[in-house]
Amino acid sequence: MASNKDENQSGSSGGGGFFSSIASSLSNLGSAMSKSVNGMLGYEGLEVVNPEGGNEDAGAEAQRGRWKAEDRDNYWKMMQKYIGADVTSLVTLPVIICEPMTNLQKMAELMEYAYLLDLADECEDPHMRLVYSASWFISVYYALQRTWKPFNPILGETYELVNHAGITFIAEQVSHHPPMGAAHAENEHFIYDITSKVKTKFLGNSVEVYPLGRSRLTLKKSGVVLDLVPPPTKVHNLIFGRTWIDSPGEMILTNLTTGDKVLLYFQPCGWFGAGRYEVDGYVYNSEEEPKILMTGKWNESLSYQPCDLEGEPLPGSTMKEVWRAADAPKNDKFQYTYFAHKINSFDTAPKKLLASDSRLRPDRYALEKGDLSKASSEKSRLEERQRADRRTREAKGDEFKPKWFNLSNEVCPTPWGDLEVYEYNGKYHEHRAAIDSSDKGEEADVKTTEFNPWQYEDSVVSA
């Protein structure tokens, strides 16, 4: 932990002081773990990192992973031309590395521990509000450690969740190039809005992912508005070795109403897993004085304790747990939690599910049932239909307009670039209210609904 506020505090774009010095030294340590194995395998520039080992077993680690040897070799050769590039929209990846879920559904996984926001909203202590809220944002990292890739949503695709903790959640893919999603969630305690976009840098056998999104959380009782800047993420061993994910760097949650903030540092993984998953930092008041220290592991639990101006625990105070990850199914094929299964299920779908909902994607559903061949062919068919839809739009001179979100005039600066912000337009609540007030007749089997996010029903897929 840091010993004083000046060493700890930094701006929202990342910064110096105690945390940065640790970041630099541990980053060097993590870099030492990487070992080129081109001499052994005949691949120029290939680096493999074993998160549980040192730098002597890269060759053995390279032979592990979910890829077949011939597929691994072919993809390595194909991807060489993209090294150093942003591959967000450039590369179509095979179904074999996907999970039966889309990015829109993954956005909804943040709702699992929404009770933390209920506690934050009811809390009178402004600094404890930040403890609860920051813990909520960190809780989703348990799900983000999954190494399977979610499906990229089709333009106009949606996901809705209305049966958890009184929350109404709607997400929509609002842009295809660049890929962007927007989501709105609300219950009696909070309002959450996000415009999601990423920037990537492909490094060969790894990729760095920079979150350009904007996240805003409003607590209804106090009216405070919180803004999040998350750390970047690095995906290791994409092709050779066992894929694993790390998110080293700072997470900053700022109370835009009062100026209080939380600054937490995600430790990078070192030799033999040293520091992996660990996160620690402080809640600061508007005068940049530490008030509460926080520590834990983002895949297990978080705790907090009041501290003095030097960042040391107050005499007589004790460390208290604020969040713990729920038990998960053992040996689950896709490392899903019980909540992930819930949001992926037709059994929990709302009445009169939108035809554009991710649950209805035939490629996603085929993969869930274990039919990789059908999943692959359906994925190709949907992608070609999306191209046909775009050609029709261009021929008509139309612009795609999202249904549940509007492009605002706001451009939000982030540490990794500017972001156009989409705002929730309120229409989904009107839509859902109309359904809920209608006659409760017998519902058709939702599984028979054809997936339909298309703007034009008569778009022709070229042969």
Q: Can you give the CATH number for the domain in which 405 is found?
A: 2.40.160.120
Structure confidence at residue 200 (pLDDT): 92
Query: d(Cα 193, Cα 199) in Å, to the nearest integer?
Result: 20
| Domain coverage including residue 254 | 45-437
Look up tokens 């609002």; give the residue: 174
Q: Is residue 25 part of a domain?
A: no
Which residues are CB-neighbours of 54 under 8 A, at least 6 positions away?
33, 271, 272
Structure confidence at residue 389 (pLDDT): 95
Q: Is residue 17 part of a domain?
A: no
Ramachandran angles phi, psi of 22, nearest 5°: -65, -45
Q: Is residue 10 part of a domain?
A: no
Contact between residue 247 and residue 233 where contact means Cβ atoms under 8 Å apart? yes
Give the up-direction half-sphere exposure of residue 58: CA atoms within 13 A in the CB hemisphere: 22
Contact between residue 171 and residue 418 where contact means Cβ atoms under 8 Å apart? no
Structure confidence at residue 71 (pLDDT): 85
Q: Could you tell me which residues are beta bridge partners of residue 152?
A: none
Q: Is residue 463 part of a domain?
A: no
Q: Is residue 88 part of a domain?
A: yes
Q: Is residue 33 part of a domain?
A: no
Paired tokens of 320: 């208290």
Q: Is residue 274 part of a domain?
A: yes
Secondary structure (H, E, C), the chain: CCCCHHHHCCCCCCCCHHHHHHHHHHHHHHHHHCEECHHHHCCCCCEECCCCCCCCCHHHHHCCCCCCHHHHHHHHHHHHHHCCCCCCCCCCCCHHHEEEEEHHHHHHHHHHHCHHHHHHHHCCCHHHHHHHHHHHHHHCHHHHCCCCEEECCCCCCEEEEEEECCEEEEEEEEECCCCEEEEEEECCCEEEEEEECEEEEECCCCEEEEECCEEEEEECCCCCEEEEECCCEEEECCCCCCCEEECCEEEEEEECCCCCEEEEEECCCCHHHCCCCEEEEEEECCCCCEEEEEEEECCCEEEEEEECCCCCECCCCCCEEEEECCCCCCCCCCCCCHHHHHHCCHHHCCCCCCCCEHHHCHHHHHHHCCCHHHHHHHHHHHHHHHHHHHHHHHHHCCCCCCCCEEEEEEEEEECCEEEEEEEECCHHHHHHHHHHCCCCCCCCCHHHCCCCCCCCCCCCCCC
- Note the pTM of the prediction, 2 decimals: 0.88
Q: Is residue 249 part of a domain?
A: yes
Structure confidence at residue 10 (pLDDT): 37
- Burial class of residue 417 in the structure, from the number of CB atoms within 10 Å of its CB (0-12 exposed, 13-18 middle, 19+ buried): exposed
Contact between residue 136 and residue 113 where contact means Cβ atoms under 8 Å apart? yes
CA 442, distance to chain mean position in Å, is 36
**How many angstroms separate the Cα of 184 from the Cα of each of 136, 191, 326, 364?**
16, 7, 24, 23
Nearest to 417, CA basis, from 181, 268, 162, 229: 229
Total of domains in the chain: 1
Structure confidence at residue 135 (pLDDT): 98
**How many angstroms separate the Cα of 204 from the Cα of each of 208, 235, 339?**
10, 11, 33
pLDDT per residue, tens digit, the chain (463 aa), is: 443 434 333 333 333 333 333 333 334 334 434 556 655 556 666 888 888 877 667 788 888 888 888 888 888 888 888 888 988 877 777 898 899 999 999 999 999 999 999 999 999 999 999 999 999 999 999 988 888 999 999 999 999 999 899 999 999 999 998 999 999 999 999 999 999 999 999 998 999 999 999 999 999 999 999 999 999 999 999 989 999 999 999 999 999 999 999 999 999 998 888 999 999 999 999 999 999 999 999 999 999 999 999 999 999 999 999 999 999 999 999 999 999 999 999 988 998 999 999 999 999 999 999 999 999 999 999 999 999 999 999 999 999 999 999 999 999 999 999 999 999 999 999 999 999 888 665 555 777 899 999 998 765 554 3
Q: Could you tell me which residues are beta bridge partners of residue 207?
A: 202, 235
